[in-house]
Structure 1
Amino acid sequence: FIHILCVGFLAVSSEDPFLTSSSLPTCLPFASSQSVPLPFPMAHGTTTLAFMFQGGVMAAADTRSSCSGLVACPASQKILPIHSHLVGLTSGTSADCALWKRILARELRLYQLRHGRRLSTSGAAKLLSHMLHPFKGTELCVAATLCGWDGGETGPGSRGETTKNQMTELFYVCSDGTRLRGMLFSVGSGSPYAYSILDQGVHWGLSVDEAKSIAREAVYRATYRDAYSGNCVDMYHITSKGWTRRNREDLKEEYYREKERRKHEKTERRDVTFSD
């Protein structure tokens, strides 16, 4: 009797035009290889940058988190410390970046407990790349820049300068398994504007104050043109003694300083013209 009812229900369903034209899915999401579309397009935007110089590694990022056209959080933290001598700059989906940062920090801590030493930045980048590669082609969105120090601590009488023997390391790792080593990286929707400042001003012989100024200027220029970047700038300096965090700076102060500087230059040009 139950079998007859089931056959009858299937027959009616196949003949009912309303049921056949229903918008209900024909199969469950987990039974199909096709990805389920998001209810609305996700627009990711950020500006993160890092570069190496004789004083270590300087990393900077804005603090605006966006979701489509909405500013979801104006004070997010995109530079995440992993251990005492390694930080990660994150770009992509905030939840994915936070999760994989915790996973990487756990694995590095376990390695240190087992072997009595820290895993190198190169090893950490390779580990993260191998863990992310199986998720290639999925909705996972993680783009991380790992900034670390692999050399021993300098003595009390040293000047804190590094040599180009790769004591400082810089790696870019993406959720598709990409792993790149370099001396300068900028990631995010504001990176083209940041590169215009970095390519012009970054060189090995920078002092700490000069590196800080260039990093702040690059983030400011990116936020000035990119709507998905903005609010404040965070800066980290990685040396042989570990990472240190600079005070968070509001970029609107840089905007007003820029206006005053342009006003002063305009006044000087006008005075020179009148004197001529």
Structure 2
Amino acid sequence: MPLKPGELDLGTTIIAAEFKDGVVMGADTRATMGSYISTRNANKITQLHEKIHLCRSGSSSDTQAISDIVKYYLQLYSIVNEEPTTLTAAELMRELNYNNKEVLSAAFIVAGWDKHSGGNVYILPLGGTLHKAPFAITGSGSTYIYGYCDSLYRKNMEKEEALNFLKNALALAMSRDGSSGGSIRMAVITEEGVERLYIHNKDIPEYNDLEN
């Protein structure tokens, strides 16, 4: 059904976390229009620069437009400066998001690796504020997993631990939130580069059978 005036469509679950060697990012693949599932295989993880990505939540058109603008500015920046940092990308995103907060329905997680500070995660909720955190979650499914993430996240996790943490958190959110679903896409960003992973719906663990 169509959204009511003033109602926001933020149906998704996105998450990112720092680990020992960089950051991991993850998102479900369901895209909705009100109560209608428009696709079960959306890609909500977008590359902004070589080792900087973001997860998108909110209006697809809004988040894609902002992502394209920031990607363009980062390309220009890297021509006349050194490679941009994750914070540079997050600040650009914050500027655009805040200055257009009255017309945008968009929330982001920006994460990446750079030589100055290693792996970093930044969250930009609705309204355009910017917060650095060891892990970040947002979207409609995030309300179901704050306690899980707070209790199980720990600093300096190994890569496999971090991937398992994200997979289980997303599986829990997808099992409870009607707007999150489909499969899981993940990205691992380290000094060596970016590794993309895809977990098919049939391979996602049930909420009562999670791997430790």
Q: Which residue does 1:27 correspond to in 2?
A: none
Tell me, in whole angstroms, the C-alpha distance in 2 between the residues paired with 1:142 and 1:257: 28
Seq. identity, % = 27
| 1:151 aligned residue (115, 133, 141) | 115
1:55 aligns with 2:21: yes
1:256–1:88 Cα change, 3 Å: closer
TM-score by length of 1: 0.70
How many residues end up aligned between the 2 structures? 209
Residues 197, 217 of structure 1: 8 Å contact kept: no
CA separation of 1:74 and 1:95: change in aligned 2, threshold 3 A: same
**Among 177, 187, 190, the residue aligned to 1:239:** 190
Q: CA RMSD in A?
A: 2.3
Matches within 5 A, 1:50-199: 50-115=16-81, 117-138=82-103, 140-151=104-115, 166-174=117-125, 176-199=127-150
Aligned ranges for residues 197-212 of structure 1 at < 5 Å? 197-212=148-163
Q: Give the TM-score normalised by the residue count of structure 2.
A: 0.90
The residue that corresponds to 1:216 in the other structure is 167
Unpaired segments ≥5 residues, structure 1: 1-36, 153-165, 262-276
TM-fit CA distance, 1:250: 2.1
Can you give the 5+ residue segments of structure 2 that lack an aligned partner in the other structure? none
Structure 1 residues 127 and 66: alpha-carbon distance in aligned structure 2, compared to 1, 3 A threshold: same
CA distance in 1, matches of 2:151, 2:121: 19
Structure of greater Rg: 1
Higher RCO (C-alpha under 8 Å, 6+ residues apart) = 2
Displacement, 1:258? 5.4
Which is strand-richer, 1 or 2?
2
The structure richer in helix per residue is 1
1:230 to 154, 167, 181: 181
Equivalents in 2 of 1:197, 1:175: separation in Å? 23
